[in-house]
């Protein structure tokens, strides 16, 4: 996979201010406001910043947490996990492996009835959805 490297100025030109805040500054969109929170469309979820495939709709589930939730990424090397202690607690940040954009966080052991016992809590604004062709 080819890495996508851009200057801060190039990212600001490419992304809206809201996209930039989440993808490049690790902000979080407000819960229950994202475009894909309740989407049932079949398809591939890609990184909004670089287009890398990250998740598929068959791994999306209803967690009722306010953000799209998946139980696994498409490929384990599609994302990078980083320890995040920013809010006085330890969480695991999820970033796109191709462009290092912030996507959200992954949580384990919450008791959801999914194969991995993980909830990949991803900001809608970090994603684009490519629907399956009919």
Which are the catalytic amino acids? 121
CA 100 to chain centroid:
11
The single-letter DSSP state of residue 14 is H
Specify the length of the chain in residues.
134
Who contacts 42 (Cβ-Cβ below 8 Å, separation ≥6)?
57, 58, 131, 132
Please report, for residues 27, 113, 134, the alpha-carbon distance to residue 102 in angstroms, rounded to integers and kept in the order given.
8, 26, 31
Neighbours of 12 (CB within 10 A): 14
């Amino acid at each position: 996979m080819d890495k996508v490297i851009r200057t801060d100025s190039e990212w600001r030109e490419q992304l809206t201010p809201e996209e930039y805040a989440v993808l490049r500054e690790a902000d979080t969109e407000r819960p229950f406001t994202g475009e894909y929170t309740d989407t049932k469309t079949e398809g591939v979820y890609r990184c909004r910043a670089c287009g890398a495939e990250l998740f598929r709709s068959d791994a999306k589930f209803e967690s009722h947490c306010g953000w799209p939730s998946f139980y696994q990424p498409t490929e384990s090397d599609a994302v990078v996990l980083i320890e995040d202690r920013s809010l006085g607690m330890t969480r695991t940040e999820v970033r796109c492996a191709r462009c290092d954009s912030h996507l959200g966080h992954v949580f384990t052991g919450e008791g959801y009835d999914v194969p991995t016992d993980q909830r990949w809590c991803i900001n809608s604004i970090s994603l684009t959805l490519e629907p399956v062709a009919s």
